[in-house]
Amino acid sequence: MAATIYPMTAEIIATAAPQDAEEKKAWQERVTYAKNAQSYVDSALSGTALQSEPEVLIDLLSTLEGLNPKSKYLDEAYGSYLLALNKSGAAAKIPAVAEKALASFPENEDLLLYMTDAAMTKKQADRALVYANRLTASLSKHAKPEGVSAADWERKRNASLGHGYYVAGVISADKGVWVAADKNLRAAVPLIQGQPTMLGPALYFLGVANYQLAKMTMNKPKMIEAVKFSEQAMAIQGPYQSQAQKNAFIMKDEAAKMR
């Protein structure tokens, strides 16, 4: 069906508008009909794909990519598409699929989340920081998608936001960009509660960032915050626990010397 409808409708849509008013009205009706037909095909392919096994999903969505790479139905399906590629043993194809798709949907949170993690895995800090910042900016203005419950959307949004803020904060701290580190990690902490592998490092780097900012501005309340974050970090088992304890001792001593 798609292979038949798309060529015919594409030809209609590509036809130049006639000059005659009556002919132009008929042309507009034909173009509207053709666009609606394409939208119906897009919806049918995507809807069927999302209810299918991974192999069928991949086949149908790749078909839709070939027909209309900017289809709004693809934008909504990329999270499932990437998951299906991974489940079907085709994970090696994901980077190329995600990068190509991002050109059509630069604010797609599923694609941005994948690209953030992929860059982190490859230790491409600058690239990961760009994607993490794009992810949080995108999610901060996205409304709930149609067909998704408010609770499910809030859960997904918070998880992705927490991840994006965490990555941006840790990378900023590693670069010594303390204001950005402080801002992003403060935003991350409420969203990553119950996830010690992220929460421990986030609190540790928050302590370091606030310590550095306190020294630069001779700000005692900020130094006290640095102590608080470091003490919270040292209560979480992990690679930063011991150093957080040492940091807290040093920070307390410096806070006592400040007016």
d(CA 78, CA 110): 7
Kindly tell me if the per-residue pLDDT of 112 is higher than 90. yes
Which residue shows structure tokens 């609190």? 203
**Cα-trace Rg, the chain:** 25
- Mean pLDDT value of segment 244-259: 94
Specify the pLDDT at position 126.
97
Confidence band for 9, pLDDT divided at 50, 70 and 90: confident
Confidence band for 25, pLDDT divided at 50, 70 and 90: confident
Specify the pLDDT at position 2.
62
Six token digits for residue 96: 């190329």
The CA angle 56-60-65, to the nearest 5 degrees, is 145
Specify the pLDDT at position 3.
59
Kindly tell me if the per-residue pLDDT of 232 is higher than 80. yes
Residues listed for the chain:
259
For the chain, strand residue ranges (E) read none
Q: 64 with 71: CB under 8 angstroms?
A: yes
Residue 103: Cβ-neighbour burial (10 angstroms; 0-12, 13-18, 19+): exposed
- Mean pLDDT value of segment 215-234: 97
Specify the pLDDT at position 29.
86
Provide the 10 A C-beta neighbour count for residue 14. Answer: 9
- Mean pLDDT value of segment 147-166: 94
Confidence band for 246, pLDDT divided at 50, 70 and 90: very high
This prediction's pTM: 0.89
Specify the pLDDT at position 22.
83
CA dihedral 76→77→80→84, nearest 10 degrees, is: -160
Confidence band for 23, pLDDT divided at 50, 70 and 90: confident
d(CA 148, CA 157): 12
d(CA 102, CA 107): 8
d(CA 146, CA 150): 10
Confidence band for 129, pLDDT divided at 50, 70 and 90: very high
d(CA 81, CA 101): 11
d(CA 159, CA 166): 11
Segment 82-107, tens digit of pLDDT: 999 999 999 999 999 999 999 999 99
- Mean pLDDT value of segment 251-255: 95
Specify the pLDDT at position 90.
93
Segment 186-199, tens digit of pLDDT: 999 999 999 999 99
Segment 30-49, tens digit of pLDDT: 888 888 888 899 999 999 99
**79 or 145: which carries more pLDDT confidence?**
79
* Of 62-66, 67-71, 177-181, highest mean pLDDT: 177-181
- Mean of per-residue pLDDT scores for the chain: 93
Residues near 80 by beta carbon (within 8 Å), at least 6 away in sequence: 49, 50, 57
The 3-state DSSP class for residue 16 equals coil
d(CA 70, CA 27): 24
Angular region, 73: left φ>0, alpha ψ -120 to 50, beta rest: alpha
